[in-house]
């Protein structure tokens, strides 16, 4: 493309020969390794406990850090007395805002700042002080010995109340993080006049907590002016950049290592305050410091998916043509600018063809923990509104919900300026193939004709979705080393956040070099020893890294073929590789095993380097999904059983079938949690404090909540225009429509439209009772 | 040169633009950083103890391995009973040759093989069994509990006796490792007829032990089928290759890490038996195993510099022209083929111009520990003979010893086929500049006219030397990463064996990119995460790696300038870098700070890759040295004080002045040990066992033995024909002539020609007494 490829340089600065650009295909037509059901290449490490996660790190002389947090959602620290704590056994350092080195401004995306240790605590969990002690118990005891005098202020934890006149101001500038964000195309009022049916509904989604299995934290260690941090993170280079900037250190003196990490879902894209605190404590004590949050701390201080209050008005013609969508949302990222409304309107703006769309997003402050990106930020929230609305519209016009969606499939991205065409759009296939595999029509028919007197009533639902990103893109650099015995080392900066990135990349190398995936050693996620990568998140890791990995493998192959060509007295362009052998296409007698190539033996290794090229200009690359599920609802108790689920995904080429399916299962599981049980509950009436701040009170799905019958239907459409592996993002689209699918299935079973997540039996029972009363009243009136 | 430079490949396989080969100079004319007195970039780590050496590694659950060794130089293991040892507390595994996994053939360079655990022990220290236990004391106790029944055989530890008829055969094929190795050019008999003076002498050098500060050993850890070894080694990739081959494992599954190492001097170029034993013990127990030799074990089982018995006959004309050199040597590499005579004749063959040269080397087996390469293998031994002979010849023809050497400086390598010219020859400058700085003539004159009745007599000596290698050469790959704040990470496979390699490479990067050396983070010597390198040894690390480092830095610079060119709207070829700023040569107003280049910020990093190109064809690249010293000898006691030393070296460009001087001091120190005190003494008359097997009985120089006055005179002649940094090897030439210099100075003081190392006061006193007796007898006869 337009980017100049920098040439190799030897020490002699020889002009490199022009390579034959035709010698490597631009895209794979067929693959033998990529797309396989390959068990994870790091499966043994992960299940045996041999993999060393940052939270497993234990260094000689290591201290344990712990953070004192505000117990109040809104309070001013009037006095902080650490004298007793300093005398506690095992205590080696105490840090507060009074320590000059801790006098650090903490930046959020907007203009509002806080301090590393803030004296005006605007949420429960705000850091006030920190301790390093010989063990975590002593650290905890010392925290309890710090005497804090608070001036407790009234808290505002309800985002709608925050906008009311006279509400206490969370920041001096008021309770809006910024003016309402508006988007408009066409003219919604005109759109509504063209509609045959107009519906309007209010929706709410509750705040969800990431709760990754490995908690948030790090181990920090100094070597004079060099800092090494083992951090549980999605992106070591981003952490390096932040730590370097906050501590005013050269990047070369900050090393972040995070080879394994136990989940993040967007909450581990950033350096935590804890990262900086651990570094400061380690500096102060001259010893390594381990600082991992407790599970309870992660509930109040490690981010969340913002709760939303949405209103959607939609117009449709009788033939299913959408004429207008009018959407407003009030949401909160908590006490600091943290993107409370980010991404909430993307489904409304871009999923279906609609000429007249207006959205308005109000992001407000509340006295709550700042949110962080959470798997498809904003998208499941918007989908909760849009996809229930689509279901309602379909019913109103008497159209099948799948048919209504098929009617409105766009060819271009309408929300992007210039309306760029998609590099590939598999939404149609997702809906058609998904419905077919699910047995949609049959199921709908069976339910329609089922016995309505049973307490357990079945229902099926559908919803689709798109993810705003997923194309990947530069920069990325990858190095592949081919050893003389044909085995390989792959060096990559990106984190494998549990999605199977290592396995995908091994398959890509295996495809190009014919080496068994288990013979590929992978080193990743270390700013000192591995290559540059952007954080793993946004469903962009595979589409970003896999083309660079492929380029590096091809680069190895070309060097190897050049060596073989010399030895076989054949042109490199006439050679091909099959298994471990290099063959001439012209002369079958000319062949040589990779392990017999003398040049490779002599050189000891071949090093290949690969870059990620820019994405095609004026094109949109988005993944699409359609999901289907069947539920069974007990209309007496409100209990919901999710019987089966199906997800049909267009995420470009299927790179690794087993990890692909794992992603689908994981996304649906997370969506079930979002729809059915997960809710950070704040005490809105009195204290403003969290009342579901642990895994006992905050429920996430267990094996009993997830159906055994989850079917993955990959729409295997390699997106060869997007990049050279044809992959698009998968991680986020698989969770976007899930909650709405369940809501639509529950409606199909019960006739109850759900306004709010989570759908508890209590809430559903109440709605069913109300509906029963209404029906009986109607019956009475008849 | 002829090597094709492989191009970069992005994932799009775009054809790279042809770079401007003129944009980087082929060689530096001036340097501002390279050559500086730069303190070691890793100095803090090294002196503070923060650097983690392999012997510092401690892993959770780690066991301690120890090896049972033969106490006899020649014995057959008739029975081995481990039952009692197995019951000892803390013992977790015992390995003997009976364990199938330990049934491993151990290869030496020749045809003669042994087993990992050998039943016919041919030297004291041969491995018989090994134990892994919870701690090293329990391991030692368990070893002592192993019952071994030996059949003790007569031992042959004298290399000359080994050749006598009827000597016990050490291997079935006899006691010669191979037929005597002969070299001839011209016709020595004709050469001697042309000589005015012919001298013939016999010389012996004693066996020297490496005794690096960090002992030999490793920590081995398995992760299913992947093995990680932290090894104290000079070359991780060579160890990887050996371990992989011996254990039959893919290279990608063997990771060797040796970031820091505490000295090797050639004895750590190879995988030890201990490496394999540690791996087997770790596999058997499922736990990491640390296996480091005791200091005493390193004396009997970690190699040595072979003892030599040399005879040299030399002819010279009155004008100083050498006419013939005839050299024979009998030496031993111990019980296995280990290069007992390697390199011994190189000085004789190649240092001075001489048309008629014959050498014959007899390498014999003895019941002694196999030797290993030792700093300039064979060279100090040969120098001991040749340089004393040169001194004697000079005296015989009444010529100054420096003048005799200057008379015979060659322009080509005479010992190599085709007699290739040297890329640079600084021997003349070494002798002239060295003599001048030393005050050679003045010192000689003062000594000649000094009071001969004093007990303490002064003397000065000179000797020169050349090292057979030192050109460096491919393969080497280096990666340099430039961070957006201008700091740098350097990734290199080579070990820094204590010589300051890291500092040299930081200066090279600093020279090209203008970044402060302390802002360059260096990661090296890890087969998984760093680039390919051959072992650090043979004085080739700097000339091998520095050109590749420079190429990688230039590659970074070119990418950076291309970015800046776009932003400044200027041609990249018109840009230059100064400090942290990029400037236009045409338009002074066009400039930008490196840290302001938007492309760098956006990309997050620039990755540069550099390779070491082949050496010039048909050229020899060798370093040269001339050394001078002054001694004071007590003619009553034989005590020798070394008063001052000077080394003038032609090692190409001076890359880093402080580490250069450190090498000089280290080489001279080691040479003093070789000349004056170091000797592995075997009991030749009875047991054949070592009698100097520890640092009490085997003396190495201390601060008291080394003069404070050591002067380094670098002949700074960048060898731009050899490579793009102009560096030649330094580590070995600085120790080659040292012992001979001392011998010549002692002769100058006493008139005693020394035959054998080490020059102990006892030996010297005896020679002085004999000489006094002879003189008085002569006086009586008068």
Position B23 pLDDT exceeds 50: no
Question: What residues in A contact B44, CB-CB < 8 Å?
Answer: 223-224
| Contact across the interface for A604 and B237, Cβ inside 8 Å | yes
A642 contact partners, CB below 8 Å, separation of at least 6: A629, A630, A631, A672, A676, A705, A706, A707, A742
CB A534 within 8 A of CB A238: yes
Region of residue B462 (phi > 0: left; psi between -120 and 50: alpha; otherwise: beta): beta
With a cut of 60, say whether residue B16 has pLDDT above it.
no
- Whichever domain contains B227, its CATH number is 3.90.1170.50
Contact assignment for B16 to A7 by CB distance below 8 Å: yes
ipTM: 0.92
Instruction: Give the closest of B5, B9, B477 to A607, CB-based.
Output: B477
Look up the domain containing A425 and give its range: 375-470+619-776
Same structural domain for residues B459 and B569?
no
CA atoms within 13 A on the CB side of B527: 35
- CA-to-CA dists, residue A169 to A154, A161, A685, angstroms: 10, 11, 17
Quick one: closest CA in A to B248, which residue?
A485
Three-state SS for A456?
strand
Phi/psi of residue A744, each to 5°?
A: -65, -35
Q: What is the mean pLDDT of chain B?
A: 94
A490, A491, A493, A497: CA torsion to nearest 10:
30
Contact A485 B13 (CB under 8 A): no
Residue A75 forms part of a structural domain:
yes
Q: Least CA distance to A238: which residue of chain B?
A: B604
Are B462 and B476 within one domain? no
CB spacing of A554 vs B479 below 8 angstroms? no
Q: Does the pLDDT at position B12 exceed 60?
A: no
Residue among A216, A219, A214, A217 at smallest CA distance from A61: A219
Position B457 scores a pLDDT of 96
State residue B443's pLDDT score: 98
- Residue A553 sits in the same domain as residue A659: no
Q: Does residue A323 fall inside a structural domain?
A: no
Residue A29 pLDDT level (bands cut at 50, 70, 90) = confident
Residues A550 and A410 in one domain: no
Name which of A11, A492, A517, A544 to mutate to probe chain B: the one with the most chain B Cβ atoms within 10 A of its Cβ. Answer: A11
Q: What is the pLDDT of residue A578?
A: 83
Q: Cβ separation of A475 and B603 shorter than 8 Å? A: yes
pLDDT for A23: 35
Strands A308-316 and A322-334: antiparallel
- Where does a domain end: A546, A578, A611? A611
Q: Tell the residue number behind the tokens 């271009």, with chain if given.
A: A412
- Residue A2: pLDDT over 50: no
Average pLDDT for A671-677: 98
Task: Decide if pLDDT at A401 tops 80.
Answer: yes
| Residue B240 placed within a domain | yes
Mean pLDDT of chain A: 94
Interface-testing mutation among A2, A3, A8, with chain B (most B C-beta atoms within 10 A): A8
CB contact under 8 A, A475 and B604: yes
Instruction: Tell me the mean pLDDT in the region B145-158.
Output: 97
Among A252, A479, A602, beta carbon nearest to B489: A252
A369, A726 contact by CB (below 8 A): no
Residue whose tokens read 């100083």: B320
% pLDDT > 90, chain B: 92
The string of pLDDT tens digits covering residues A680-728 is 999 998 999 999 999 999 999 999 999 999 999 999 999 999 999 999 9
CA B625 to chain centre: 16
Residues A220 and A291 in one domain: yes
- Asked whether residue B314 is domain-assigned, the answer is no
Q: Are residues A453 and A482 in the same domain?
A: no
* Min Cα separation B222/chain A (Å): 9
Encoded tokens for A311: 């209103």
Total-model pTM: 0.94
Q: Is the pLDDT of residue B22 over 80?
A: no
Q: Is A656 exposed, middle or buried (0-12, 13-18, 19+ CB in 10 A)?
A: buried
| Cβ–Cβ gap B252/A521 under 8 Å | yes
Looking at the structure, do residues B219 and B86 belong to the same domain, yes or no?
Answer: yes
Do B742 and B758 have their domain in common?
A: yes
Residues B570, B133: Cα–Cα separation, whole Å: 68
Q: How far apart are CA A414 and CA A412, in angstroms?
A: 6
Separation between Cα atoms, residue B461 and residue B747, nearest integer Å: 8
Which chain A residue shows the shortest CA-CA distance from B546?
A11
Contact residues on chain A for B603, CB-CB shorter than 8 A = 474-475, 532
- Say yes or no for a CB contact (<8 Å) between B9 and A50: no
Residues 6+ apart with CB under 8 A from A775: none
A83 part of a folded domain:
yes
Rounded to whole angstroms, how far apart are CA atoms B729 and B734?
A: 10
**Alpha-carbon span A350 to A379, nearest angstrom:** 11
Q: Is A704 exposed, middle or buried (0-12, 13-18, 19+ CB in 10 A)?
A: exposed
Residue A693 is predicted with a pLDDT of: 96
Question: Between chains, do A483 and B250 touch, taking CB under 8 Å as contact?
Answer: yes
- So what's the pLDDT on residue B554? 94
The predicted pLDDT at position A18 comes to 31
Contact criterion met (CB < 8 Å) for A5 and B4:
no
- Burial class for B96, CB neighbours closer than 10 Å (0-12, 13-18, 19+): buried
Write the residue in B48, B253, B609 that is nearest to A609 by C-beta.
Answer: B609
Is B17 in contact with A24 (Cβ distance < 8 A)?
Answer: no
A423 and A480 inside one domain: no
Instruction: Compute the distance between CA of residue A751 and CA of residue A385 in angstroms, rounded to an integer.
Output: 17
pLDDT reading at A110 higher than 80? no
Task: Quote the strand ranges of A681-780, DSSP E.
Answer: 709-714
Burial profile B306-321: b = 16 or more Cβ within 10 angstroms, e = fewer: bbbbbebbbbbeeebb
Residue B654 scores a pLDDT above 80: yes
Q: DSSP secondary-structure letter at A413?
A: -
- Between residues B108 and B274, the one the model is more confident about: B274
For position B485, which CATH number holds? 3.30.365.10
What pLDDT was estimated at residue B26?
65
Distance, first Cα to last Cα, chain B: 72
Closest-CA residue to A678 (of A294, A300, A305, A264): A305
pLDDT for A579 equals 79
Tokens of A735: 């969770």
For residue A532, give the nearest of B248, B742, B165, B480 by alpha carbon.
B480
Q: Per residue in B504-526, is it b (16+ CB within 10 Å) or e — as a string?
A: bbbbbbbbbbbbbbbbbbbbbbb
Alpha helices in A692-760 (DSSP H): 738-750
Angstrom distance (rounded) from CA B118 to CA B130? 12
A669 shares its domain with A749 = yes
Closest CA to A321 of A285, A356, A281: A356
Q: How far apart, in Å, do the first and last CA atoms of chain A sit?
A: 71
Q: Give the pLDDT confidence of B739-766 residue by residue, as tens digits.
A: 999 999 999 999 999 999 999 999 999 9
Q: What is the pLDDT, as a whole number, of residue A327? A: 98
pLDDT of residue B96: 98
Report long-range pairs for A703-708 (Cβ below 8 Å, ≥24 apart).
A705/A642, A705/A672, A705/A673, A705/A676, A705/A677, A706/A642, A706/A665, A706/A668, A706/A669, A706/A672, A707/A642, A707/A643, A707/A644, A707/A645
Q: What is the rounded average pLDDT of the residues A541-553?
A: 97
Of A237, A481, A485, the CB nearest to B244: A485
Last residue within a domain, chosen from A611, A629, A644: A611
Question: What mean pLDDT do residues A590-610 have?
Answer: 95
Residues from chain A contacting residue B513 (CB–CB below 8 Å): none
Partner residue facing A9 (CB), from B12, B489, B555: B555
A458 with A490, same domain?
no
pLDDT > 90 fraction of chain A, expressed in percent and rounded: 92
| DSSP per-residue string spanning A130-184 | EEEESSHHHHHHHHHHSEEEEEE------TTGGGSTTPPPSBTTBSBSSSPEEEE
Residue A5 counted as domain residue: no
B513 three-state secondary structure? helix
pLDDT band at B579 (very low <50, low <70, confident <90, very high): confident
CA distance A369 to A303: 6
Establish if B525 belongs to a structural domain.
Answer: yes
Dist CA B311 CA B203 (whole Å): 6
How large is the average pLDDT for residues B492-513?
Answer: 97
Name residue B221's beta-bridge partners: B228
Residue B198, φ and ψ in degrees, nearest 5 = -125, 130
Does any domain span residue B446?
yes
Q: Quick one: closest CA in A to B1, which residue?
A: A14
Please report the number of interchain residue pairs, chain A to chain B, with beta-carbon separation below 8 angstroms.
272
| Contact criterion met (CB < 8 Å) for B485 and A554 | no
Same domain, A734 and A645: yes
Encode B588-599: b = buried (16+ Cβ within 10 Å), e = exposed.
Answer: eebbbebeebeb
The stretch B308-321 carries a mean pLDDT of: 98
Residue of B nearest to A725 (CA): B11
> What is the widest separation between alpha-carbon atoms in chain B?
96
pLDDT at B453: 83
Q: Please tell me the predicted confidence (pLDDT) of residue A16.
A: 31
Kindly determine whether residue B250 and residue A547, on different chains, have CB atoms separated by under 8 Å: no
Closest Cβ–Cβ partner in A4, A528, A610 for B523: A528
The pLDDT score that the predictor gives to residue A24 is: 43
Q: What is the pLDDT of residue A580?
A: 85
How far is A626 from A648, CA to CA, in rounded Å?
Answer: 5
Q: Rounded CA gap, A738 and A149, in Å?
A: 46
Q: What does the buried/exposed string (b/e) look like for A459-497 if buried means 16 or more CB atoms within 10 Å of the residue's CB? A: bbbbbbbbbbbbbbbbbbbbbbbbbbbbbbbbbbbbbbb
Cα dist from B437 to B231, B429, B661, B664, B740, whole Å: 42, 11, 15, 15, 20
Q: How many domains are there within chain B?
A: 3
| Of B584, B611, B638, the domain-final residue | B611
Q: Is residue B297 scored above 50 in pLDDT?
A: yes
Q: Which positions in chain B touch A3 (Cβ < 8 Å)?
A: 10, 14
| Residue B595 backbone phi and psi in degrees, to 5 | -75, -5
- Give A112's pLDDT tier (boundaries 50, 70, 90): confident
Which residues of A fall within a CB distance of 8 Å from B241? Answer: 484, 604
Helix, strand or coil, per DSSP, at residue A206: coil
């Amino acid at each position: 493309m337009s980017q100049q490829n920098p040439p190799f340089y030897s020490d002699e600065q020889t002009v490199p020969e022009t390579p034959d650009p035709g010698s490597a295909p631009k895209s794979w037509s067929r693959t033998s390794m990529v797309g396989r059901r390959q068990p994870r290449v790091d499966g043994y490490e992960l299940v045996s406990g041999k993999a060393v996660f940052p939270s497993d790190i234990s260094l000689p002389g290591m201290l344990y850090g712990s953070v004192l947090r505000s117990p109040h959602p809104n309070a001013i620290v009037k006095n902080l007395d650490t004298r007793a704590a300093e005398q506690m056994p095992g205590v080696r350092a105490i840090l507060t805002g009074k320590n000059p080195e801790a006098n650090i401004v903490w930046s959020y995306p907007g203009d509002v700042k806080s301090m590393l240790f803030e004296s005006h605590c605007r949420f429960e969990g705000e850091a006030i002080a920190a301790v390093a002690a010989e063990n975590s118990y002593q650290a905890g005891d010392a925290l309890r010995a710090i005497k804090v005098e608070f001036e407790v202020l009234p808290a505002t934890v309800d985002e709608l109340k925050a906008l009311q006149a006279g509400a206490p101001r969370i920041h001096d500038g008021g309770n809006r993080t910024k003016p309402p964000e508006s988007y408009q195309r066409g003219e919604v009022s005109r759109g509504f006049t063209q509609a045959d049916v107009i519906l309007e509904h209010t929706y709410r989604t509750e705040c969800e907590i990431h709760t990754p299995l490995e908690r948030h934290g790090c181990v920090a260690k100094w070597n004079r002016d060099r800092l090494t941090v083992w951090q549980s993170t999605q992106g070591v280079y981003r952490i390096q950049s932040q730590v370097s900037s906050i501590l005013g250190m050269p990047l070369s003196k900050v090393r972040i290592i995070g080879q394994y990490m136990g989940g993040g879902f967007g909450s581990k894209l950033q350096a935590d305050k804890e990262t900086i605190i651990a570094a400061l404590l380690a500096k102060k004590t001259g010893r390594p410091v381990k600082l991992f949050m407790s599970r309870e701390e992660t509930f109040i201080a490690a981010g969340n998916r913002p709760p939303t209050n949405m209103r959607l008005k939609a117009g449709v013609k009788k033939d299913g043509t959408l004429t207008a969508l009018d959407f407003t949302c009030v949401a909160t990222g908590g006490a600091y600018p943290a993107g409370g409304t980010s991404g909430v309107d993307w489904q409304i703006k871009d999923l279906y063809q609609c000429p007249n769309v207006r959205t308005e997003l109000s992001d407000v402050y509340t006295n709550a923990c700042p949110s962080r990106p959470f798997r498809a930020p904003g998208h499941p929230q918007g989908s909760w509104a849009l996809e229930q609305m689509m279901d309602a519209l379909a019913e109103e016009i008497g159209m099948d919900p799948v048919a209504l969606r098929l009617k409105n499939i766009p060819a271009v991205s309408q929300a992007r300026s210039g309306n760029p065409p998609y590099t590939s759009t598999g939404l149609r296939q997702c809906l058609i193939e998904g419905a077919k595999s699910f047995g949609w029509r049959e199921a709908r028919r069976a339910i329609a004709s089922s016995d309505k007197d049973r307490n357990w009533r079945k229902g099926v639902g559908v919803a689709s979705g798109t993810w705003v990103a997923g194309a990947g893109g530069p920069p990325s650099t990858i190095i592949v080393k081919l050893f003389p015995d044909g085995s390989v080392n792959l060096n990559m900066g990106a984190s494998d956040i549990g999605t199977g990135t290592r396995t995908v990349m091994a398959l890509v190398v295996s495809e190009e070099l014919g080496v068994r995936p288990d013979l590929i050693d992978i080193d990743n996620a270390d700013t000192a020893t591995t290559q540059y990568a952007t954080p793993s998140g946004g469903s962009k890791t595979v589409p970003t890294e896999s083309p660079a990995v492929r380029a590096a493998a091809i680069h190895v192959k070309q060097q190897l073929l050049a060596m073989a060509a010399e030895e076989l007295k054949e042109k490199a362009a006439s050679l091909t590789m099959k298994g471990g052998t290099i063959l001439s296409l012209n002369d079958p007698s000319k062949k040589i095993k990779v392990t017999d190539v003398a040049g490779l033996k002599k050189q000891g290794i071949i090093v290949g380097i690969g870059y990620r090229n820019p994405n095609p200009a004026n094109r949109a690359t988005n993944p699409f999904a359609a999901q289907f599920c069947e539920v069974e609802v007990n209309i007496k108790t409100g209990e919901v059983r999710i019987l089966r689920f199906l997800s049909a995904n267009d995420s470009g080429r299927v790179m690794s079938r087993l990890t692909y399916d794992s992603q689908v299962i994981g996304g649906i599981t997370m969506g079930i949690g979002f729809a059915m049980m997960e809710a950070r509950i704040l005490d809105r009436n009195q204290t403003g404090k969290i009342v579901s701040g642990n895994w006992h009170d905050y429920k996430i799905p267990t094996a009993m909540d997830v159906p055994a019958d989850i079917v993955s239907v990959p729409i295997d459409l390699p997106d060869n225009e997007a990049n050279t592996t044809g992959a698009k993002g998968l991680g986020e689209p698989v969770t976007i429509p899930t909650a709405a699918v369940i809501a639509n299935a529950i409606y199909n079973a019960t006739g109850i439209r759900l306004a709010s997540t989570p759908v508890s039996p209590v809430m559903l029972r109440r709605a069913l009772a109300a509906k029963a009363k209404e029906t009986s009243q109607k019956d009475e009136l008849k």
